Amino acid sequence: MFQASRLTRHVRALFLPLAAGLALTALPAPAAHAASTLTNTGFESGTTGWSAYSPTGQSSASFVEAGGRSGASRLSHWSSSAYKVETYQYLTGLTNGSYTMTAWVRSSGGQNAAYIALRNCGSAEQRTDLPPTPDGKWIRLVTSVKVTSGQCTVSVNSDARAGNWLNVDDVSFTPGSTGLSVRGVDVSSLKKSEDRGGVYRDASGATADALGVLRSAGADYGRLKVWVNPADGYNDKTRVLQTARRIKAQGMRLLVDFHYSDTWADPGAQAKPAAWSSHTYEQLRSDVYAHTYDVLNALRAQGTTADMVQIGNEINTGMLWPDGSTADWSRLAGLLNSGASAAKAVSSSTRVALHLAHGGDNALYRQWFDNATARGVTFDVIALSFYGYWHGPLSSLQANLDDVSARYGKPVLVVETAYAFRLDSEDGHENIIDTTGELVAGYPASPAGQAAWLRDVMNVVEAVPNRRGLGVVYWEPTWTAVQGNGWDPADPSSGNGWENQALFGYDDRPLPAMAWLGHR
């Protein structure tokens, strides 16, 4: 990923107003009672089966009203004054084991806390925070827990400011567990940063190894891009081998991202490497195979076999233009299969991912992967870039993940996302995101806003049915402002435009968002 141009996205809130009268006239919730199964999951029978508790005496802030996701009714939390309320069912007589709560939600955002939770289950409470939904669309969330005491409380919680609201509908509590197997970081710029004097610190302020800090926070995958013959000598085979050793030494897995270019490859640029520029299509197929095999085999030889590999980077429009453009799908399919074949020849266990940008654009993904599958392109994982300030609301990401994972029977991985923790630049180079008008509604450019964004993207991926949501990779968390480590490999004076989206702050310490790499 690299977007040299800046895009502005205006999101208009479509909140459905909550009538204060409904909250005032709602009947008190019934007394808590125990059952062995969740009842009235769509709130079609009002508050039957559900209880409300408020430590501040505001149980009326929990009520059922018209406007359900699938039926006539929904649970709502709202009050004209600040409030705290929990809506819950207490289950008993459960067989011990793992259980998952699923709920469809909407939220105004702005609460001190708004989440679904499983508690009193004999193990640690598990919760999932509600994202703001300014487009008014429902988001499906999940949270899992291990029941060890034969009982569990299913609950919806608000600690809210005056006027904050949430909606919940279609709740379920079923055997099974969820979680993410990939909590990754793209650290392609790290080696150059360190070589140019970049410093990273731990939470106490002590100088530290950035990879070690990320690993301690929960990162379990490292992603590295590969350019063929870059102008600055970084992100080539030699440098990738060096950083791969460090990634594996941390006990992390390795994702190798082939750009098949000497510089940035993305939907607007897929330039051939200079050394391949005059080659015929058949030669390009051989080039792709040889280059892919060479890098991956060298990784295997040094004991750092790639766990996953991308054949191309953000290849919405193809790669190795013009030969591999989507204007000629047969040729593009041949190039993709050359790369996939090389990867599998080195290690049959290495998973092959195909990566597109615009992760909320379902029409794009259907058209692209329909063409790929129709031509027998080999792949194991569908990888997506999803930046909310460019690619739409979380509801669009969820709809696309749900659809393509089912349509093609493949796991999905958000292989790039990030968010700003401030808007000003540290190196004088204009940041890619640097105005409030470019932000995602409900997510300020602050450490808390950045953390909420990563948390909510991970929660959406975790909720993909049948555990087909592999996880999330944060893009370039170590690309801080270091002179000489700019975005243009041919221009040492270029800034990077990205330091306000790193996971290390301008004081070089970890930001709160980094803690979400430890997501369950």
User: Which residues are tagged catalytic?
Assistant: 314, 416
Dihedral sign for Cα 337, 342, 346, 351, please. Answer: negative
User: Residue 187: how many CB atoms within 10 A of its CB?
Assistant: 26
How far apart CA 506 and CA 42 sit, in angstroms, is 47
Q: Apex CA 242: angle with CA 238 and CA 244, to 5°?
A: 115
Cα distance from N-terminal residue to C-terminal residue, the chain: 27
SS3 (DSSP) at 461: helix
SS3 (DSSP) at 209: coil
Using an 8 Å Cβ cutoff, are 266 and 246 in contact?
A: no
Q: Tokens representing 169? A: 């509908």
SS3 (DSSP) at 237: helix
- Amino acid identity for residue 16 in this structure: L
How far apart CA 461 and CA 166 sit, in angstroms, is 21
- Amino acid identity for residue 243 in this structure: T
* Pairing state between β 381-385 and 318-319: unpaired
How far apart CA 213 and CA 270 sit, in angstroms, is 34
Q: Where are the alpha helices (DSSP H) in 250-361?
A: 281-301, 329-346
